[in-house]
Amino acid sequence: MKIDKENIVTRFPPSPTGTLHIGGARTALFNWLFSRHHHGRFILRIEDTDTARSTKENTETIIESLRWLGLDWDEGPYFQSQRSHVYNAACEKLLSGGKAYYCHCSPKELEEKRKDAIKRGLKPKYDGTCRDKNLGKAPGAVVRLKSPLIGSTTFKDLVKGTISIENEELDDLILQRSDGTFTYNFAVVVDDSEMGVTYVIRGDDHINNTPRQILIYKALGEPIPHYAHLPMILGPDKTPLSKRHGATSVLAFREMGFLPHALLNSLARLGWAHGDQEKFSIQELIDLFSLDRVGKSAGIFNMEKLLDLNAKYIREETEETLTDLVIPFLHKLGCEELKREMVTGAVRTLKARSKTLLEMAQKSLFYFQKITYEPEADEKFLVPESSELLEELLSVLRAAEVFTRDELERILAAFIETHGIKLGVVAQPLRVALTGTAVSPGIFEVMEVMGRDMVLTRLTKAIAHIKAKGNR
């Protein structure tokens, strides 16, 4: 595909009638990658003309989502609600040039025409009653585009290939409603034209809008951009991605503890591929991205693959960065007074075991909160036979000169040799005593992070707990 690299401009125009979901984020990413690959401009435009459903909160959430993903923009955000003067000027241009006209047909009349067309087996479209009457502005009137009645509108979609539709299938679509507001198709064309957008990359649910928008471009006498319609995103069951497949809001993934890079990587692979490569750096995505590699078939969003990818990125991240990222999750889980050094230690023991930041925070709670013994682990390991071993180990640990992983490992090796036992005989009761569970990171790493005081305190409590059970 030959790309005109002069002044490439893409845009992402979300509607703040809801939050930013996976589909919109993928569209934003592909526009961003395309513009960055070709050293062009990426514009953010908020399409908030649906005043009844658009909210400031949704706008802020969308912007926050893009920033979290790292998708920066070169211009904007522009707001359609603040651009009525631009649309008015374009509408007047079409009216004065005979490319549009006022239609005085009432909603009741239009409904009767629609029913009559259906009854006669015709396409229920506007019949052009007011098309050549040269009517002026009037209460309740709308402005319609004077669409061509013959011929066809054809465009080469950069993903789907050549698409053509007969003009007789298209309507004299409304540009300006009776209340003075402007329709989506008209506002989008005016904005894209005025902002110099050269490539419109969007979901294939917009394909039906494209011929209509092309007719508006032609009526305005403006250059028509290149179009690329992305395949839809499906869930693992091959149905359109929805809430029943789990989280779809971008910020929900942040709350679940995903790293933005992992989500971006996953989004990039929804409908785009570079051989069999699964994992990309941001720069690799920019360098490699091409519309030629966007497939025609739908992308399948797989949460398990995303979790595995996120786990890889967590393992590769620095402990310092993970500490910064995990602390807010610990705060939400009720851990208020945190020592950074201990959080970093906890991260060190859990980064290879965690698929999300939330999971890491949850698994590390035994470091920062009072523990309760899991019933099964309590019954199996905190038993009278363990009490004497734990008491002797407590004395040995109390006398330890240093409390490092290597020294603790040496101490326990000598302890089990002295008693002629296997490591698990004392290690499992020790693990439950310190963490409350029979499954945890390596016991020596855990003890090093906890430090002498916490280890001795928890061992003492576990011994008392075992004795109390025996006296019941």
Give yes or no on whether 83-230 and 375-470 have one common fold: no
> What is the residue extent of each domain of the chain?
9-81+233-303, 83-230, 317-368, 375-470
Binned at pLDDT 50, 70 and 90, residue 237 comes out as confident
Predicted TM-score (pTM) of this structure: 0.92
pLDDT of residue 246: 66
- Per CATH, the number for 317-368 is 1.10.8
- Cα dist from 412 to 38, 416, 429, 430, whole Å: 60, 6, 13, 11
For domain 83-230, the CATH class is alpha beta
- Find the angle CA(302)-CA(304)-CA(307) to the nearest 5 degrees: 115
pLDDT of residue 247: 64
Whether the pLDDT of residue 149 is over 70: the answer is: yes
115 counts as catalytic: no
pLDDT of residue 240: 82
According to DSSP, the β-strands at 142-145 and 100-103 are: antiparallel
For domain 375-470, the CATH class is mainly alpha
Whether the pLDDT of residue 51 is over 80: the answer is: yes
Binned at pLDDT 50, 70 and 90, residue 2 comes out as low
- Of 115, 243, 332, 467, the active-site residue reads 243
Q: Which of 187, 186, 173, 176 is nearest to 46 (CA)?
A: 187
- Per CATH, the number for 9-81+233-303 is 3.40.50.620
- Cα dist from 264 to 20, 168, 278, 322, whole Å: 14, 42, 12, 18
